[in-house]
Structure 1
């Protein structure tokens, strides 16, 4: 918490005027907060209860650093030595089936194991430990190594979503938290280009979801509303941070985003977990994921690196509690800033004091919003957005 600064109560918040550049187009009407795009200021992240520094004026400085596009990765469609490919042998000696859709297996090097021993009580308040048990799985999205989610067919992305929902139902009754996440690209520490995600189910509620649970619960008690349902409603009206939207989903660059092109994916209705989504919502989710990830790739015409993950209401014993304060959402954290080779580093001031950004969330959203929905690779092949990946 920044000393002497507290979030404003709703009663004191003044909604800025709506300025329209084209009265015939509602999409051109965007709420702009005076001063927020010109001067340094702090923004509050209600999910974490923390602040970030936005140094908007720094974007006026000329960029003299070299901008270059890295060469396209020459990833073979199938590599027999790749442990994620169909028919390949993994580190534990098991041979993958010749799968044609998604494929799930237990991580050969798990960070969490179901039978780990209890470390026992600590002997001092400053030296505390507790048991940590769980399971770690790897899920391959597709049998091909040279494809990523934005280049997959909508039906294939929908299959991935269905499998995610099944994992919540399978692991949720036993574990309080099931974290689905994807690290895409070597820049995010992903050593294998084959399209895949990981699933870690734990016997404890990790730090980030614990913070999100506490702040959403407090907001519910104080304001009588679901924080992220109201947030999505506000962003849908204000428009300036919306990247893409459809009937069931909304993608925004959060008002409090710390990474340059960070986004949040939100349902329009109140939904607790992935397993609660209807068939129509899952189809719409596949569509909006494809649109967002296509725009990401088109930004610098490169396979855009990111870490992403889903946050939904906790499971395990929490399934017996009222978790109505929760709203399902996904976070995307891409590191790139000015080009395919220039990234944002969270170091120095960010590590020791406060997260900081130059490019405002509104500027980032506008750049993403204005990008085409046809992938640059498909455009080169003459495909349309509708035929993309089909």
Structure 2
């Protein structure tokens, strides 16, 4: 049986767009994209840093992406009153579409192997195959995820499930990462409430580190590192912010950021498609509550990155789906800048006691 609360369409330059609806009564045939868009030119390549052994995405065309437009020119608002945007419909609930300025994209079938940079074997290079999508949370330009009702959050979770399953199936994709950048202090280029979904054609360095840690912990103790962290945090209790039937939120003991919050499911779940209906329903209630507490922490909207880490290919049974939310705000009116030690040497220095953050979050949680 087809899903009538999900309607796919195609933009003028061939990019895929999918409407997700809160209920089937809102699902209608999508209008066409009438913009005279130029052909896509996804000039993306991966270059390997020989010192770190890491791949870097070189995406020169992203330097021309839309940057902090006025609300009247927002590309994520619906197409209304003769103004055409990235979303052809005059209204919508949730929309996912291929990013017009991606960091990764599937190259044309006939694209030749670029070979190493300057012909030097030390500087390996390959196409930046993968996919980047935008996920608009609401047609309301001035809204926020924290202000969404549980019904809408359920639709967003449904979109995360849908896109995770679809993107994970693409050839070469190693991990799917759903995230939201919020606030000018974080560096957002669009203020409309939205997130992004990256389908990485590589194993991200952060994930590789976590996999190494889980393997070492398993060999040393025989235990599941994610389960043992959750048990240790709940046993201590000093940094736990919220505990539900299926989810627990806590500030990590060794938080890197002055404001950091993690949300773990209670059982081993590798990715969004594995969540039960009960787990999705509780998440739809818990997540907005946590985001509202984030905004009440300083009494102003908190700039943050909220990233959903999912199991990479081949580690579905050992890597647990979880949220890591952090902010660069270290005090009211003060930001944490990643300077010499953090940026230069990846040695983190946190100015705020994690237990203090957890205590304050418990105070403002509603």
Per the normalisation by structure 2, the TM-score is: 0.74
Judge conservation of contact 1:138–1:199 (CA < 8 Å) in 2.
yes
Deviations 1:280-317 (A, max 9, x none): 101111222112111110012211110121111113xx
Does residue 248 (structure 1) correspond to residue 228 (structure 2)? The answer is no
Aligned partners of 2:287 and 2:155: how far apart in 1? 13
* 1:345 equivalent in structure 2: 337
Q: How far does residue 202 in structure 1 lie from its aligned partner after superposition?
A: 2.3
Judge conservation of contact 2:183–2:191 (CA < 8 Å) in 1.
yes
* 1:297 equivalent in structure 2: 295
* 2:155 equivalent in structure 1: 159
Judge conservation of contact 2:135–2:196 (CA < 8 Å) in 1.
yes
**SS of 2:185's equivalent?**
helix
Aligned partners of 1:88 and 1:200: how far apart in 2? 29
Q: Taking CA–CA contacts closer than 8 Å with sequence separation of 6 or more, which of the two structures ends up with the larger relative contact order?
A: 1
Structure 1 residue runs without a partner (length 5+): 1-77, 374-390
Aligned partners of 1:309 and 1:291: how far apart in 2? 17
* 1:119 equivalent in structure 2: 114
CA 372–273 in structure 1, closer or farther in 2 if over 3 Å, else same: closer
Judge conservation of contact 1:112–1:134 (CA < 8 Å) in 2.
yes
**SS of 1:350's equivalent?**
helix
Matches within 5 A, 1:74-153: 79-87=71-79, 95-115=87-107, 117=111, 118-121=113-116, 124=120, 126-153=122-149
* 2:207 equivalent in structure 1: 209
Deviations 1:192-250 (A, max 9, x none): 21110011112221221222222223322332222111111111111111112211111
Q: How far does residue 81 in structure 1 lie from its aligned partner after superposition?
A: 2.1
* 2:39 equivalent in structure 1: none
RMSD between aligned residues = 2.4
In structure 2, which of residues 322, 342, 354 is the aligned counterpart of residue 329 of structure 1? 322
CA 351–202 in structure 1, closer or farther in 2 if over 3 Å, else same: closer
Judge conservation of contact 1:136–1:198 (CA < 8 Å) in 2.
yes
Deviations 1:68-89 (A, max 9, x none): xxxxxxxxxx944211011169
Count of aligned residue pairs for this structure pair: 291
CA 287–129 in structure 1, closer or farther in 2 if over 3 Å, else same: same
* 1:231 equivalent in structure 2: 229
Aligned partners of 1:94 and 1:125: how far apart in 2? 41
Judge conservation of contact 1:253–1:365 (CA < 8 Å) in 2.
yes
Q: How far does residue 161 in structure 1 lie from its aligned partner after superposition?
A: 1.0
**SS of 1:188's equivalent?**
coil
CA 81–129 in structure 1, closer or farther in 2 if over 3 Å, else same: same
Structure 2 residue runs without a partner (length 5+): 1-69
